[in-house]
Amino acid sequence: MTVIGVVAQNSMLYGPASMVQAIGDAAFDARLAVSVGHVADYGAEAREVVRRLVDQEVAGLIVVAPVAAAAQLLAAVPSGLPVVTVDGLPQWRTANVAVDQYAGGLLATRHLLAHGHRTVWHVAGPEQWHGSRAREAGWRAALAAAGVEAPPVVRAAWTAESGYRCGRALATDPRVTAVFAASDDIAIGLIRALAEHGRSVPDDVSVVGFDDVPEAGYTHPGLTTVRQEFAEVGRESVRLLLGARRPESVQLRPTLVPRGTVRHRVEVRSRGRAGSTPGSSGPL
């Protein structure tokens, strides 16, 4: 049976883990065996993993490459061995499959603006991740197109704990009525922190996450999020590996999944007092 190699960071994060699972499922459907090499980073250990996979005479490699350091690993792949990257960069000149993270940032931010929010705050993921930077760029572009100045970025790790810490800081700012979180885990921690500070989601603050993790539909309220089709990522990466040798890029569109954490922003105006016009006072 033909064997393909997969190299990915040793991570329990939903995105990378789902990609590896999706690649395995697609390979099974194509009657291929998979040998997976998990690495802590993309340094010397990862190069050794590549060497071992090559020694197994794999027919090709799929490298899940969400950070720039993965370029070092690609340099260790023998010439002539087919390689497909997932979430790679265009300058690497490999066949690549990626979800359009920039478009996802646009979707999330436009959705919040369309619900009457004057601006949207962003809790971004780690800066070294390609997807994190692209989601942030989409957020900035959507605000700029609406003529809105971007608030300061709040940076988090890909965890609910980190989202919780960021949420505690944002909860004290009354200007924060809408937040785009760079992942669902971040969003879940953020919502917990807002609730502890007496700010209800979505009555006081609307929140959009990213990924559509399985738990997103079972939070209360259900988490509005941007969905990545990981199964499609797996199918396309296997298709490219088995197809033409020339580099080809496939970019998949994310979709918005509306649930219960976004509500139209209602500006509350005070009743007119003596000498004032009803509705003349500013919004609270």
For residues 246-262, give the mean pLDDT. 93
**Distance, CA of 255 to CA of 41 (rounded, Å):** 30
Band of residue 34 on the pLDDT scale cut at 50, 70, 90:
very high
pTM of the model: 0.89
Check whether 272 has a pLDDT greater than 60: no
SS3 of 26, please? Answer: helix
Band of residue 277 on the pLDDT scale cut at 50, 70, 90:
very low
Structure confidence at residue 259 (pLDDT): 97
Q: Which tens digit of pLDDT belongs to each residue from 57-77?
A: 999 999 999 998 898 888 889
Structure confidence at residue 244 (pLDDT): 60
Give me the DSSP letters along 98-137. EE-HHHHHHHHHHHHHHTT-S--EEEE--TTBHHHHHHHH
Check whether 268 has a pLDDT greater than 60: no
